[in-house]
Chains A and B, each alone.
Chain A
């Protein structure tokens, strides 16, 4: 089973600053990686698929990059609504696997 490792577990950033979240795969997943945002009591929301394509309606301050085993989600200027938990998901191999999540909190 593919292991997805996200870092850091918690990231403290001030509003208006940039946040960089990482996701590493135990073997190559090509560009078959998605990022999700989840707020308390809500279903996850798709942000990025194909490692770098923003989903419909996602603000341009969210960007994804990487391929193979190393991926990054960047939020260029944090807004109050961006503080949440972020998960990566690989869909290159069965079974699909999520990372354990990064909690983005207000500094």
Chain B
């Protein structure tokens, strides 16, 4: 069965970086984009960016340019999302979600979410 399993909760100080992983299983890893979406406490969903696991190409929303990096390891079917220069406003649950390459069919499977807390 399709699964996206994310790494556990993280606590960081302002200015630090965090790396969240998303391990895919149950499908062909390179046939689906992986998107990252975050949700601050009590707030709505915010799309952050996407990676094509096949070639590694990425697209990030401008808000995170320079702070956000997505990478992949095809040998372990794992996607990594690194966010640097953390500030308190980055405290949120971070989700990975997949979408098929080509004509989108929406984000049909999601990871369980990873809480990142930023506090001094």
Contacts and interface: CB of A to CB of B under 8 A. Distances in A.
A43 B110 contact: yes
A71 interface: no
Contacts of A44: 37, 45, 95, 97, 107, 110
Task: Bin the interface of chain B by size.
Answer: 20 to 34
A51 to B, nearest CB: 10
Contacts of A53: 105
A59 interface: no
Given A87-B44, A89-B47, A96-B47, A46 B108 contact: yes
B104 A32 contact: yes
Interface string B108-120: 1011110000000
Nearest to A90: B47
Contacts of A95: 47, 49, 59-62
Contacts of B89: none
Q: Is the interface of B mostly helix, strand, loop or mixed?
A: strand
B35 interface: yes
Contact of A43 (B49, B60, B104, B112): B112
B73 interface: no
A34 B45 contact: no
Nearest to B61: A95
A48 B95 CA distance: 19
Interface in A11-51: 32, 34, 36, 38, 43-46, 48-50
Of A56, A91, A96, chain B has the most CB atoms within 10 Å of the CB of A96
A43 B93 CA distance: 10
A100 B47 contact: no
Interface of A: 1, 32, 34, 36, 38, 43-46, 48-50, 53, 55-56, 87, 89, 91, 94-101
22 contacts: A34-B104, A34-B106, A34-B107, A36-B45, A43-B95, A43-B110, A43-B112, A44-B45, A44-B107, A46-B106, A48-B106, A50-B105, A55-B108, A56-B108, A87-B44, A89-B107, A91-B99, A95-B61, A96-B47, A96-B61, A98-B37, A100-B44
